[in-house]
Amino acid sequence: MPLTLDLTDRVALVTGATGQLGRVMARTLAQAGAHVAVHYRGNETKARELCGELERLGRKAVAVQAEVANRDAVFAMRDAVKAALGDPHIVVANAVSQVHPWTTLLEEDPADYEDQFRSCVMQNVLLAKAFIPAMIARKGGRYIGINTECTMQLAPRQSAYTSGKRGMDAVLRVLAREVGEHQITVNQVAPGWTISDRDREKGTEVSESYSKNVPLRRRGTDQEIANVVAFLASDLASYVTGAYVPVCGGNVMPAV
């Protein structure tokens, strides 16, 4: 029989779904058959536009607002998703607070480290507490965190960002060990510097200074990231858990 990536009638939650990458992941999961809860923090208009797009694909969709580092907000989001679509089979933790411009550790505002801890670590702690129990009851589920190649690179000026993402990595690896017996997989996708619609609109897809160090000699696209997320969300990845999967053209390579 041919292999198929089929998410028909699965329910997926994508946090940060109104962002550049979030929109493509939500569309891709819907194209594979999933109904999608579109999380947003402030851009309700974009969330509702995306829901309309997914509904035109024949899927159910709901826009849900939450501050992902706030327990009450996350649990209220859980209740809203359940009421509209049912308990999610798939959670994609994609939302992230942007701290720019990056600067040196000696110059970085200490508040930026706290911000990244809330965005990267506490988001995943709270999402797990809110959504994993229903997966345990169902005896299966997919939890996917969006990390970054920067977590391995640890370049100058990245200390706030990578401290949050490294903390996220630890939380999700431990979670994978704790919930694996329930046939719940927990994985991370780590994009490189990704081409998005913003680049396509501005004509900034090409960066020789970045691509010359990438084995595939190019930047990846948002669709290429979303394809890996869809794979990890599917039954094709039923025996993959605890993985940190770089999708960066080989720019970073975890070693054994």
Helices (H), 92-236: 110-116, 123-138, 150-153, 159-179, 197-202, 208-211, 222-233
CA distance 4 to 236: 8
For the range 128-135, what are the long-range contacts, defined as Cβ-Cβ under 8 Å and sequence gap of 24 or more?
128/171, 128/175, 129/71, 129/74, 130/74, 130/75, 130/77, 130/78, 131/13, 131/78, 131/87, 131/88, 131/91, 132/175, 132/179, 132/184, 134/82, 134/87, 134/88, 135/87, 135/89, 135/179, 135/182, 135/184
CB 243 within 8 A of CB 169: no
CA distance 132 to 190: 22
Residues forming beta bridges with residue 39, ordered by sequence position: 64
Residues noted as catalytic: 161
